Chain A
Amino acid sequence: MKILLWVVLTPVVLLVLGAGVYFLKAIVEGAIEGWRSDPGAEEAAERVAALGLLPAERQHTELSAPQPRAMTVAVAAARAGDWAPAAALLDGTAAARDWERRTAYVEKLADVAAEDDAWLTAWEAARPDDPGAALLRARSSVFLAWKVRGAKRARYTTAEQFEGFHRTLARTRHEHARAAELAVPGDPSPYVGEIWTAIGLGAPHEEMHRIWNDITSRAPHHYEAHFSALQYWCGKWHGSEALARAFAVKAAAEAPPGALMTVFPLIAHFEHDESDSADVDRTPEMYAAVDAALADAAAADPDHPRLAEVRHLLAYYLYLQERWEPALEQFRLVDGYVDALPWRYRGDPAGEFCRMRDEAAVNAAGEVTP
């Protein structure tokens, strides 16, 4: 009888003892960890605060740079049903023939119209053949298609979502055509939106070449056009690493300084980089590419709507190349806004941005005071 008792009790006692030892180990390890890393973190926090940099929770995750006031007003008015400020904003870009700013505004406003288009419908009714409204109609339908599809991988996307995606996107074809028909002569914007329909529907290379001719004949060094076309040529969409790199190198080589085209070799590299180590980012070619983009950013119009996006990527590669001082410089120039590559692709964009920024800050401090 006693033996039976022991047979039952022994495993129970052993189990409890085992669990106890396991927890004790975890507690001790945790304490050691905290004790070790605390001073470093404190130092970094002090240094970052002294530089006037913001903590992760104060980083803006929906913008890559401060938004022009007129844009903020136009978005708020559109949400309230008033299309007039948005129309005035787009009319202004057409009058100034500022295509970079025009597509940048269209991108933001189309995002609003993809959620609710009552204001856009009112605009279309009031000004039936407005080129700006036609642009927004087409581009917002493209965003809408992606909303219907959802952001999950194909395996977790239902047949209903795919069907809606294709149906909505197919409809954008004639919306783009209408926008192109109504466009101000010389405006490449309708074709920039068309690239995203081509990406979503898997248009053949010939069609992409046709769109590309329509764009470059109007604006040879348009940033968003190049950014979108590069996506099309990436391996994950309808091209390959070789095609994407060739496209990016050609764009960079043909553009005058200040057009920011030198960022595309970096993006092509980034999109196809699957290695776990930073060695591939520290090749002589990558140093040269980063230097070229640095020079390009320095030569660019400080008001270029895409300059901040370039700086974000520069900060990332300068960090990977352990060039702490110039990396910190780029981080400081864009601090406060993190919706840009590479952070946009990460689960916690603000956290990732601040982690790398703080490391650059600490190491840069080490460099100046040897």
Chain B
Amino acid sequence: MGASVRALRALLLLAGFYLLGLAMLAVLAGVDWAAALWAPSSLAVKLYVVSALLAVPIVRGMFMLRTPKDDAAHGVLVTDAQEPRLWQEVRELAAQVGTRAPDEIRLTADMNASVSEEARFLGLLGGTRRLHLGLPLVSGLTEAQLRAVLAHEMGHYGNADTRLSAITVRGRVQVARTIAHFEERAGGKVAKERARQERKNEKKLAKGKKAKEVDTTGVGLTYRSMAKVYKAYGHFYLRATLAGSRRQELAADLAAARIAGRDATASALREIPALDSAHDFYMNAYATLGVGAGLLPPPGEVFGGIRHLLAARAGELAELRRELPTEPASPYDSHPPIAERVARLEALPDDGRASEPAGPALGLLADPGAALVAVEQASLTPEALRLRRVDWPELVHVSMTAHFAQEAEPLRRATAEVTDGDGSLDALLNALDLGVGWEIADRLPKSDQAGAAKGRAAREFARPVLRRGLSRMVAGELIDRGAARWELSWSESASLRMPPGHEDDLPAALDAAVADHPDTAPLRRLLATV
């Protein structure tokens, strides 16, 4: 099949995507017309109502087919004057690929780089071309690797010989986006209904009535079923164009290898999944660690801090680079599995470019620090921007202390209830000595199995919960007295530094305090020596 025939087919398929809604409306209209002709009037009226109900999501769905414009452009726009080296690099790459250079470069906070076009006329004509460049990705790549990634992205719009195939790419993006949008709408409806029912339940509880189970099964049904129809067509579209798209991806890889070098391209591909999981981990375990305590790392570090993690965990990253995903990321993904792409690239003859200098890609920016700060300002929500900024060691110490205090809270409250006091560590230790520890433990949250257990078995379920809460309270006490401090580590989890000897003696002291014959003396001795 020639390129032009393929493009024509893609065009028809894309048109079909838009015609789908019209066709469904036509079917409904036909049914109504038939009913008006042959059915008794009572039945006809019912049919009118049903078809009107069905038509609503179809009509709304057709409006949804338009690409939501707001997600097209985001990030920080940088001009030629601001980032001359970056622009020069991108222009050179575009020339080598044989395509038009982007009209805009925007720096983002994503672990990703992409070239997109604000398509006009149902996605058939190109518009403003944008390069979205995620700074976390730039932080993790060398210059040569970044060049390979950009060459690949521009290669999609490039291949001068198959210019028409751009239609397939645009169509694919459009289909995936529409489906995602539909699902989001259906999901939003469900969330709204859930919130409404939960509010109602709260009112019921306030009046002393029993709350009903929240049930959202029927909600968003019309949207979900519409999404199903479009999804089915989307699958059909993607299957019909998949082979071609995969071929294009591999061609783009080859173009990238030609421009950036075989080894840089292959290593960039190996790097991306590793960086992806490192980024997820970083955002969860470091960047947002202090949000609960109202803290963020210093300006520029929210997205830029990943550099410390990447430097400290080189071994783990090497492990991740070795294990490449062998499945495509999603059924809508036009990319062949990364393992396959890397294997193809590494099978190419050596181009002798492995020894080319490989400085960090961040060096392409005029002032990486300033760029990271600017991206933070543009991508964080106003609420997040209002959080207090503290340096990393302080952030870890304060957040972990708050986290531990929160974990100790149920035990503190249970102790206060049982001893009719303030729920302090001292009160808990006295309660343990008096043998009411199990009574306190009984008020802590339980699993189903623990709740069903009786007698000694119930105690065995409660023991680790009680011990954990006690250890949190002891840690809080040591921190309050300035005897212990949380220590940041980029290569492993944060750890609580205690006075010498305490770390070794604490586990046994905790065990003794929650034993069947509780003995709090070792714990009290430990606390007395700080």
Cβ–Cβ < 8 Å partners of B453 in chain A: 147-148
**Interface check B38, CB cutoff 8 A:** yes
Cβ of B514 to closest chain A Cβ, rounded Å? 11
Find A116's partner among B447, B456, B463 (CB 8 Å cutoff): B456
Cβ–Cβ < 8 Å partners of B43 in chain A: 4
Bound-state Cα–Cα, A167 to B459, Å:
13
Cβ–Cβ < 8 Å partners of B250 in chain A: none
Cβ–Cβ < 8 Å partners of B180 in chain A: none
> Taking A1-B38, A4-B38 as contacts, is the C-beta distance between A168 and B460 under 8 angstroms?
yes
Q: Are A160 and B38 in contact (CB under 8 A)?
A: no
Cβ–Cβ < 8 Å partners of B464 in chain A: 160, 163-164, 167
Cβ of A79 to closest chain B Cβ, rounded Å? 11
Cβ–Cβ < 8 Å partners of B460 in chain A: 144-145, 148, 164, 167-168
Q: How large is the interface on B (under 10, 10 to 19, 20 to 34, 35 or more residues)?
A: 10 to 19
**Interface check B449, CB cutoff 8 A:** yes
Cβ of B324 to closest chain A Cβ, rounded Å? 31
Bound-state Cα–Cα, A140 to B460, Å:
13
Cβ–Cβ < 8 Å partners of B516 in chain A: 121
Find A144's partner among B38, B449, B450, B456 (CB 8 Å cutoff): B456
Bound-state Cα–Cα, A163 to B462, Å:
12
Cβ–Cβ < 8 Å partners of A283 in chain B: none
Residues from 150 to 184 in A contacting B, C-beta threshold 8 Å: 150, 158, 160-161, 163-164, 167-168
Cβ–Cβ < 8 Å partners of A114 in chain B: 456-457
Bound-state Cα–Cα, A164 to B462, Å:
10
Tell me the nearest residue of chain B to A145, going by C-beta: B460
Bound-state Cα–Cα, A138 to B40, Å:
83
Tell me the nearest residue of chain B to A140, going by C-beta: B456
Cβ of B420 to closest chain A Cβ, rounded Å? 26
Q: Are B40 and A1 in contact (CB under 8 A)?
A: yes
Residues from 432 to 485 in B contacting A, C-beta threshold 8 Å: 447, 449-450, 453-457, 460-461, 463-464
Find A117's partner among B40, B456, B461 (CB 8 Å cutoff): B456
Cβ–Cβ < 8 Å partners of A164 in chain B: 460-461, 464
Cβ of B456 to closest chain A Cβ, rounded Å? 5
Q: Are A115 and B454 in contact (CB under 8 A)?
A: yes
**Interface check B39, CB cutoff 8 A:** yes
Q: How large is the interface on A (under 10, 10 to 19, 20 to 34, 35 or more residues)?
A: 20 to 34
Cβ–Cβ < 8 Å partners of B39 in chain A: 1, 4
Tell me the nearest residue of chain A to B447, going by C-beta: A160
Q: Are A147 and B449 in contact (CB under 8 A)?
A: no
Cβ of B37 to closest chain A Cβ, rounded Å? 10
Cβ–Cβ < 8 Å partners of A150 in chain B: 449
Cβ of B436 to closest chain A Cβ, rounded Å? 16
Residues from 1 to 51 in B contacting A, C-beta threshold 8 Å: 38-40, 43
Majority secondary structure, B binding face: helix
Find B461's partner among A4, A145, A148 (CB 8 Å cutoff): A148
Bound-state Cα–Cα, A146 to B368, Å:
60
Cβ–Cβ < 8 Å partners of B38 in chain A: 1, 4
Bound-state Cα–Cα, A4 to B454, Å:
65
Find B447's partner among A4, A117, A144, A158 (CB 8 Å cutoff): A158
Cβ of B44 to closest chain A Cβ, rounded Å? 11
Q: Are B449 and A158 in contact (CB under 8 A)?
A: yes
Cβ–Cβ < 8 Å partners of B447 in chain A: 158, 160
Tell me the nearest residue of chain B to A121, going by C-beta: B516
Bound-state Cα–Cα, A164 to B460, Å:
7
Bound-state Cα–Cα, A55 to B103, Å:
90
Cβ–Cβ < 8 Å partners of B457 in chain A: 114-115, 144, 147-148
Bound-state Cα–Cα, A93 to B460, Å:
31
Cβ of A168 to closest chain B Cβ, rounded Å? 5
Cβ–Cβ < 8 Å partners of B450 in chain A: 160
Bound-state Cα–Cα, A174 to B463, Å:
19
Tell me the nearest residue of chain B to A117, going by C-beta: B456
Cβ of A77 to closest chain B Cβ, rounded Å? 18
Cβ–Cβ < 8 Å partners of B456 in chain A: 114-117, 140, 144, 147
Chain A 110-124, CB-CB to B under 8 Å as 1, else 0, gives 000011110001000
Bound-state Cα–Cα, A148 to B463, Å:
12
Tell me the nearest residue of chain B to A3, going by C-beta: B38
Bound-state Cα–Cα, A160 to B455, Å:
17
Residues from 93 to 112 in A contacting B, C-beta threshold 8 Å: none
Most chain B CB within 10 A, of A144, A158, A161, A164, is at A164
Tell me the nearest residue of chain B to A120, going by C-beta: B456
Most chain A CB within 10 A, of B40, B454, B456, B516, is at B456
Bound-state Cα–Cα, A1 to B61, Å:
34
Cβ of B459 to closest chain A Cβ, rounded Å? 9
Cβ of A136 to closest chain B Cβ, rounded Å? 13
Bound-state Cα–Cα, A254 to B516, Å:
44
Cβ–Cβ < 8 Å partners of A4 in chain B: 38-39, 43
Cβ–Cβ < 8 Å partners of B40 in chain A: 1
Find A161's partner among B449, B454, B455, B463 (CB 8 Å cutoff): B449
> Taking A4-B38, A158-B447 as contacts, is the C-beta distance between A115 and B455 under 8 angstroms?
yes
Tell me the nearest residue of chain A to B450, going by C-beta: A160
Bound-state Cα–Cα, A144 to B454, Å:
11
Tell me the nearest residue of chain A to B452, going by C-beta: A150
Bound-state Cα–Cα, A167 to B462, Å:
13
Bound-state Cα–Cα, A168 to B516, Å:
12
Cβ of A141 to closest chain B Cβ, rounded Å? 9
Task: Name A's B-contacting residues (CB within 8 A).
Answer: 1, 4, 114-117, 121, 140, 144-145, 147-148, 150, 158, 160-161, 163-164, 167-168
Q: Can you show 7 pairs from A to B with CB atoms below 8 A apart?
A: A116-B456, A148-B461, A161-B449, A163-B464, A164-B460, A164-B461, A167-B464
Q: Beyond the given A4-B43, A164-B460, could you list 20 further A-B residue pairs with CB under 8 A, ordered by the A residue number?
A: A114-B456, A114-B457, A115-B454, A115-B456, A115-B457, A116-B455, A116-B456, A117-B456, A121-B516, A144-B460, A147-B456, A148-B457, A148-B460, A158-B447, A158-B449, A160-B447, A160-B449, A161-B449, A167-B463, A167-B464
**Which 7 A-B pairs give the minimum distances between C-beta atoms?**
A116-B455, A147-B457, A115-B455, A148-B460, A164-B460, A144-B456, A148-B457
Task: Name B's A-contacting residues (CB within 8 A).
Answer: 38-40, 43, 447, 449-450, 453-457, 460-461, 463-464, 516
